[in-house]
Structure 1
Amino acid sequence: MTYGDTGIVERITPWALGAAVFLLSMASASGSVGVESTLPDPVLVALAAASAVAAARARRSLWPLAAVGAIAYAWLVMWPAAVAASYYAGTHLRRRDLWFYAGGAVAVFALSALVSHRSEGYRALVAGTPANAILMSGAMLGLPLAAGLWVRARRQVLATMRERAEQSQREQVLRAEQARDQERARIAREMHDVVAHRVSLMVLHAGALEVGAPDERTAEAAALIGGVGREALSNLREVLGVLRSQDSVRGPQPTLADLDRLLDQTRALGIVVDRHNEGDTRPLSPMVERTAYRVVQEALTNVHKHAADARTDVFVHYRPAELEVIVRNKPSVGTSGDLPASGWGLVGLRERVELVGGRLEAGPRDEDGFQVLARIPAA
């Protein structure tokens, strides 16, 4: 049952109970399921209607229903309101109030038995003898009260089980978060011990080579290597900070404004790279520009690894609804083969592009070159 269906049932149930109490009260007064009354019909209808309204509002306040039930039973042996009151007493009243209700109910049933005993005819026979009075008090008071107490105990057990399940789920989530944080910290430590240490050595050696370079070109190359290494260390520190803490604040992330600097670093390695802009250049959201930058960065990394002497073209197309980025290299004469390929660069790049609703295509071209194409929604 859905939440909406449950709400409808919760609203209908009180009035359905009130209608049942009204019908059963009229049946009791007519003698069908109780003692026939000689009072005028308007009086009986008014008493039955009062019982019905009190029963419909019993969840808000039990005592009006208990009062109407006491009057109806003591006066006319009209039992439906008394039965409903006993059930709600079991489900809602606290222990002290419950004892107070039970004592009052016993007094009402004793008064009804006394009035019935002094009456004549069918009422005296049904509710006036001690045995029948005890039997009726057990049926009209004891059974509904016991049913209400059982329902309340069941609700409490279910609520306790639900609370324990929610607590267990919260603890499980907390343990999973702690395990994840520990794993992130372990990865950060390993990356720092291995990668950061080696990159730092590379920067130091590049600095030493720059100082003792035999010629200007070697010094420039060493300075470039040192600059790239220091930038890699800075980026690595940002990644390690994110791994160590989810709440860590990351530094400024590169966007398309930094693309020329990235291309200049590639050109400094001897690779011919041309940039082509098409469409109306306009500022886009930081996530879109950052994703486009990472596409070009990963594509150029693959060029460094597998086609170091290939001429490369970078196309940035500003379309109305999307940003299209193409990195295309022409057939290479040879490959560098010195740097190992992780095999996960394009996979991670495709996930990054798809995360912002885009699409990435990468593969060989018909002219035996290689192309990386990304379409990123810009709207």
Structure 2
Amino acid sequence: MASNAVALRRVVQRYTPLLLAVVVATAVWASATGDIGVRSPLPGVVALFLAVASGWAAGTVRTRRWPLFLAAVVGWLVLAAAAAGVVASYQAGLRLRGRRLAGYLAAAAVVLTGGVLVGLAVGGVRRITTATSGNVLLLAAGLVGLPLVFGLWVRARRDTLAALRDRADRLEREQEARADRARAEERTRIAREMHDVVAHRVSLMVVHAGALEVTAADATTVEAAALIRTTGRQALTDLREVLGVLRQAGPAVVPERGLDELDELIGESRAAGLRVCRQDEGVPSALPATVGRTAYRVVREALTNVRKHAADAETTVCLRYLADGLEVVVRNGPSGGGPALPGAGQGLLGLRERVELLGGRLAATPEDGGFLVRALIPLADTA
């Protein structure tokens, strides 16, 4: 419905000048021939020329006004034709302001006075129509007053609508600014809560792990304590980056890793006790940064799920370099049934959305007692 209204408005705006030109030219010709006014004694070719000139002036009033005002003066004094004068008065009310509008009113009074003098000189029907006091007042109201008032009303309405639109835009900008401030305050609050709750407890874990590393006599315990301490410090570093992002007033840009850090990720998983091996198939090639980050996220989420649900299973990370994309496959075998860590189940949903935004596909299904995560990320339409 809205598109139809816009299309109709465009058609009207496009053909209005032509329609106005035809109406004015026809009205001037009809006035000169006596159909709707005083018949002119001038030759028909003169009346036709004035009618065509008046129509052209009315049709070009959007770009220039003086031809229409001139046509109105000539048409009234020569033919007693009022069509161009009506359009000129409307345009004066619509476009002129201040001194220019006062000048137009003075000029209209002069032209009407000239019409009275011409009517007195010509006599007959012309005198009765344009030179009697009653008709002069009616003509002044009909040719100048009413069109002028209508033009002023249309202009006032347009100014009011423009002011309302400006106010609405200003209110919308203010609302967006308030929303941005609310988001910034919420990010700051979340950052503060994360620092108070998470950072404090992780710091305690790192301190206790360091103490255990120093005091323990068993080599296995020392190694485990060192791993806990290193992992905790890395978690604090990552948490500090996230907190910095949350405190930013502008758009949040979370630092992400790519395929260059994949070996480090696999090494951390091995240090945590996972049996992980990596396989690359195909010819490695330079990949867009978005593809690399997404592939890293797929592997990280898959390995996280393995640690949660099948920490004792053998896991394979495979990267297949295809001609038109990259396939990431993470497959873990059956688990011995050890304890599983709790999870919200939202990681794969967010990961699937991330892959599909790049035009790819992600499948996560059980397979042969284990679990398979396969993501196909195309190279097209990525940056």
The interval holding the TM-score normalised by the smaller chain is: over 0.9
Question: Any residues of structure 2 matched to 1:262-281 within 5 Å, and which?
Answer: 262-281=265-284
Task: Determine which of 103, 113, 131 is the counterpart of 2:134.
Answer: 131
Q: CA deviation at 1:36?
A: 0.5
Q: CA deviation at 1:342?
A: 3.1
Gapped regions of structure 1 (runs ≥ 5):
none
251 and 138 in structure 1: CA distance in 2 versus 1, 3 angstrom threshold:
closer
Q: Secondary structure at the match of 1:282?
A: coil
Amino acid at match of 2:371: F
Question: Any residues of structure 2 matched to 1:181-330 within 5 Å, and which?
Answer: 181-245=184-248, 247=250, 253-330=256-333
Count of residues in correspondence between the two structures: 377
Q: CA deviation at 1:98?
A: 1.1
Q: CA deviation at 1:356?
A: 2.3
Alpha-carbon distance in 2 for matches of 1:334, 1:376: 33
Alpha-carbon distance in 1 for matches of 2:351, 2:199: 23
Partner of 1:342: 344
Q: Secondary structure at the match of 1:267?
A: helix
Partner of 1:97: 100
Alpha-carbon distance in 1 for matches of 2:151, 2:179: 42
251 and 98 in structure 1: CA distance in 2 versus 1, 3 angstrom threshold:
closer
Partner of 1:374: 375
Q: Secondary structure at the match of 1:376?
A: strand
Q: CA deviation at 1:89?
A: 0.4
Alpha-carbon distance in 1 for matches of 2:50, 2:254: 77
Amino acid at match of 1:317: R
Q: CA deviation at 1:79?
A: 1.1
CA contact (8 A) 2:28 2:82 kept: yes
Partner of 1:107: 110
Partner of 2:334: 331
Alpha-carbon distance in 1 for matches of 2:255, 2:90: 67
Task: Determine which of 12, 15, 27 is the counterpart of 1:12.
Answer: 15
Q: Secondary structure at the match of 2:244?
A: helix
Query: Does 1:180 find its partner at 2:183?
Result: yes
Alpha-carbon distance in 1 for matches of 2:23, 2:271: 90
20 and 289 in structure 1: CA distance in 2 versus 1, 3 angstrom threshold:
same
247 and 134 in structure 1: CA distance in 2 versus 1, 3 angstrom threshold:
closer
Amino acid at match of 1:180: R
Alpha-carbon distance in 1 for matches of 2:347, 2:333: 21
Q: CA deviation at 1:68?
A: 2.3
Gapped regions of structure 2 (runs ≥ 5):
none
Q: Normalising to structure 1: TM-score of the pair?
A: 0.93
Q: Secondary structure at the match of 1:357?
A: coil
355 and 162 in structure 1: CA distance in 2 versus 1, 3 angstrom threshold:
same
Q: Secondary structure at the match of 1:253?
A: coil
Alpha-carbon distance in 1 for matches of 2:62, 2:251: 51
Cα deviations by residue, 1:17-70 (Å, 9 ceiling, x for unpaired): 122211111111000011111111222122222222222222233233222211
Partner of 2:149: 146
Alpha-carbon distance in 2 for matches of 1:2, 1:187: 47
Query: Does 1:75 find its partner at 2:90?
Result: no
Comparing 120-129 and 246-255, the one that deviates more: 246-255
Q: Secondary structure at the match of 1:36?
A: coil
Amino acid at match of 1:260: D
Q: CA deviation at 1:215?
A: 3.1
Task: Determine which of 26, 39, 43 is the counterpart of 2:42.
Answer: 39
Alpha-carbon distance in 1 for matches of 2:135, 2:353: 80
Q: CA deviation at 1:355?
A: 2.7
Alpha-carbon distance in 2 for matches of 1:165, 1:248: 25
Partner of 1:53: 56
Alpha-carbon distance in 2 for matches of 1:248, 1:108: 65
CA contact (8 A) 2:245 2:254 kept: no
Comparing 351-360 and 186-195, the one that deviates more: 351-360
Output the aligned Cα RMSD. 2.1
Alpha-carbon distance in 1 for matches of 2:15, 2:213: 86
Q: CA deviation at 1:237?
A: 1.8
Alpha-carbon distance in 1 for matches of 2:374, 2:28: 80
Alpha-carbon distance in 1 for matches of 2:302, 2:33: 92
CA contact (8 A) 1:304 1:336 kept: no
Q: Secondary structure at the match of 1:34?
A: coil
Q: Secondary structure at the match of 1:360?
A: strand
Cα deviations by residue, 1:235-283 (Å, 9 ceiling, x for unpaired): 2222222222154796863222211221122212232111111111222
The percentage of aligned residue pairs carrying the same residue is 51
Comparing 1-10 and 312-321, the one that deviates more: 1-10
Q: Normalising to structure 2: TM-score of the pair?
A: 0.92
175 and 30 in structure 1: CA distance in 2 versus 1, 3 angstrom threshold:
same
Task: Determine which of 334, 358, 366 is the counterpart of 1:356.
Answer: 358
Alpha-carbon distance in 2 for matches of 1:290, 1:375: 13
CA contact (8 A) 1:70 1:108 kept: yes
